[in-house]
Structures are given as structure tokens and as C-alpha cells.
Structure 1
Amino acid sequence: MPAASTSRVEAFSDGVFAIAITLLVLEIRVPEDTRHLAHGLLDLWPSYLAFGVSFLLVGLVWANHHVMFEHIRAADRPLLFLNTLLLMNVSFLPFAAAVLAAALRDGHGERTAVVLYGGTLVVGGVFFNAIWEWARRGHQLLGTSIDPAGARAVSRRFLLGPALYAAGTALGAAVPLLGLLVFAALIVFYWLPVTAR
């Protein structure tokens, strides 16, 4: 299949991101006991935490996906496949967030939940990098908005992601709260603008 415009890839991806980010709120259950509503709402803090972190993470992946595709002028079949893998990972994140919230709420299985959540982020980072590396291979799918040196600079920043998420996952396997703090810190880091220099 010859390389084609990226407009349909971006439109489909935007739809998946929108659905995934919306599904995150479904894990927050309305308290059944409204006689003690304030207490019941406060008890939902694990769900609020998982929702907030995950919402910002999905939004972050969407924003950087948008920036990435500003430089990708065409999509071939391998790029479509890699993008599909990334979207599959994004679609899985609401489940990982729900597991994390349940473990924090129950006080059991927190380490496993953080490892599942962090592992999901690591895999997503690998797929994200695979899209960019395939697109910049020989500069074949990139446009004139970025030169090879700029593409390498973006690669260096993107490649940090899976390694840093893996470090957070490893820390979370020992101390779950520490892993979550690393994930939250990475949200701040990766929301900073992506520069091509």
C-alpha cells in the first residue's frame, strides 16, 4: 500500500482518545448510602486519583500524538499498524486505572495494580516511539516541518518515556505510592512543549 495522507489516521485516533478518556469516569461509582454522602464521596479518593492521573496521561499522549503527526506527512501500512497498537494500549488504560483504584480502595494488591498500570504506560511508550522511529526512518514519512537533526532531538525526548515509566513501575513494585508519584511527575515533564531542537 502506498503512503497516504494522515488525515484519516488522525481522525480515527482522536476518536479513540476521546472514547478512552471518557470511559475513565465510569469507574467512579456514586455512593449508595446518601445519608452519609460526604463520607462516601471522600472514600472515593482512590477513584479520583486514578481518574485524574489517567485523564492527564491520555490527554498527554493525545497532545504529543498531535505534535508528532504535525511532522508526519504520510502514513504507510506499517505506520497504521503501529498506530493501531498504540490505540489498543490507550483503550486498555481505563481498565488498568480501574484495577488501580480498586486496589487502593481495598488496601490489597497495590503493588500488582501499580505494576499493571506502569506496565501499560511502558508498553504505550514503546508503541509511541515505534511510530516516530518508523516515520523518521530515512525521513521518508516526515514532512519539511522538521529536519533530520530536529527529528533526532525529538527521538531522544520520546525515548526517555518508556525508561522512566519502567523506573516508576519498578519503584511502585516496592512502594506503590512512590511509583504513582513518579507517574504524576512524568505527566508534568511530558506536558512541557516538544521542541525540535
Structure 2
Amino acid sequence: MDTTRLEAFSDGVFAIAITLLVLEIKVPPPNTALGAELLHLWPSYLAYVVSFLAIGTIWINHHGMFQHIVRVNGTLLLLNVLLLMLIAFLPFPTAVLAEAFHRGTDERVAAAFYGGIHTVIGIFVTSMWRYAACGHRLLGTHLTAKKARQIERQFLIGPIAYAITAVVALVVPWLALLLFILLNVFYIWPRRSHESAASHIGDPTTSRDRSEGD
């Protein structure tokens, strides 16, 4: 089958998860100094920005992945559902992270927990690509084996880097937050391999791949 329904369902989950992040930012209670209370919410703002960028980055790379994956099967659908389960869960570790920095306690545990969730997400993203690319089973013919391996190496950086960052968080949580942001910047930056795939959308070869998957 083609990827249309998988991509549409995934986009919906991404959109809901990224919207739910703002619910963690609570309106200051009445009869308080509004200005001071708004400033006091800075951990929530920071956690919101980090997670918004993180989910946006995952969505961009998910989209890039499916510029190359032109067919899906049951196994890939299952891997994608498990990935989406973790994406939908992200507002919770985001709230935990913000609350820990609000209280000024357990920042290490909260940041490590946050990094751990991203590590597992990275494992599922990499697993999806490795499964689809194995033997070129679900990829379009426009993508060479060399580029497929290059993309796999790029995806593999994620879970390794997040696992290291989760360990760093147990020692220096502030450094871990900075590393989370840098990782998002690394992955959100446009990839030449993803951009080149976009140029194949109108390619007859790509179109034929999709039609054969129906």
C-alpha cells in the first residue's frame, strides 16, 4: 500500500502533541503580581520551546523520510504507531521538566527522563528507516544504496546523542538542556538528501514506485 494514510494520520498526531505542549503553561492565579508571576514561569517557557522544536524537528525528518519511503507494510505501520505513541507522550516529560526547574529540585532526574524519552524516540525513527531501507524493500528507485546508508547514519546520531545527553543530565542538567537545543538545530537544518528527494516528487520513476505499491 502507499504511504498516504500513514502520513495523514501521523501529521494529525504530531499536530495534537505539539499543541498540547502549551497547556503546561498555567495562567497565573488571581490576586498575585502578574508581572512577577509571568517571569516566574520561565521554566515552562523554556520547556515549551525545547519540546516544540523537538516535535517540529521529528516531524520534518519524518516528512523527509517519507519522501524516500514510497510503500508501507504491516511492520512499518506498527513501528510508526509506536513512534507516534511516544510523540503523543512528550507533553508529559515536558511538564515534568518544567515543574522540576520551577521547584528547583530533581532537575537532574527530570532532564535525564526527558533525554531518555528522546533516546527511545530516536531508536524508533532509526528502526523505521533501517527496516524500510533493508534490501531497498520500501524505498523508491530514485534513492541510491549509498544515500540510504548516509541517511541511516544521520538518523543513528539521534539516539546515541540523546542517550549521552541523558547521562550528562544526571550531572549537569543545564548543559543537557543546551545539548537538547543543539540537537534540534542539527536535525532541523535542511538536509541535502531530503531536498534532493523533493525534486523527485514529479519524477516518473517515483510516481511509478507509488503506483506499484497500491
TM over 0.5: yes
Unpaired runs of 5+ in structure 1? none
Q: Does 1:27 align with 2:21?
A: no
Structure 1 segments of 4 or more deviating over 2 A? Answer: 194-197
Alignment of 1:5-44 (within 5 A): 5-33=2-30, 35-44=32-41
Q: Does 1:132 align with 2:134?
A: no
Which one of the candidate residues 149, 166, 171 is aligned to 2:168? 171
The sequence identity of aligned pairs, in percent, is: 52
In structure 1, give the amino acid aligned to 2:104: G
Partner of 2:44: 47
In the TM superposition, residue 33 of structure 1 has moved relative to its aligned partner by 3.5
Partner of 1:106: 103
> Aligned equivalents of 1:141 and 1:190: distance in 2?
23
Which one of the candidate residues 126, 138, 142 is aligned to 2:139? 142
> Aligned equivalents of 2:125 and 2:142: distance in 1?
20
> Aligned equivalents of 1:191 and 1:59: distance in 2?
8
SS at match of 1:31: coil
Contact 1:27 1:47 in 2 (8 A): yes
Partner of 2:207: none
Offset from partner CA, 1:84-140 (integer Å, 9 cap, x none): 111011011100000000000001111110111000000000000011000001001
Instruction: For CA contacts below 8 A with separation 6 or more, give which structure has more relative contact order.
Output: 2
In the TM superposition, residue 195 of structure 1 has moved relative to its aligned partner by 3.0
Unpaired runs of 5+ in structure 2? 197-214
Offset from partner CA, 1:121-166 (integer Å, 9 cap, x none): 0000000001100000100100123111110111111101111111
> Aligned equivalents of 1:120 and 1:180: distance in 2?
14
SS at match of 1:138: helix
Which one of the candidate residues 66, 69, 79 is aligned to 2:66? 69
Moved more, 33-42 or 84-93: 33-42
> Aligned equivalents of 1:99 and 1:162: distance in 2?
21
Partner of 2:211: none
Total equivalences in the alignment: 194
Contact 1:33 1:40 in 2 (8 A): no
Which one of the candidate residues 180, 184, 193 is aligned to 1:183? 180
The alignment's C-alpha RMSD in Å is 1.1
Contact 1:72 1:142 in 2 (8 A): yes
SS at match of 2:63: helix
Partner of 2:93: 96
Partner of 1:158: 155
Partner of 2:114: 117
Which one of the candidate residues 66, 77, 82 is aligned to 2:79? 82
SS at match of 1:26: helix
TM-score normalised over the length of structure 2: 0.88
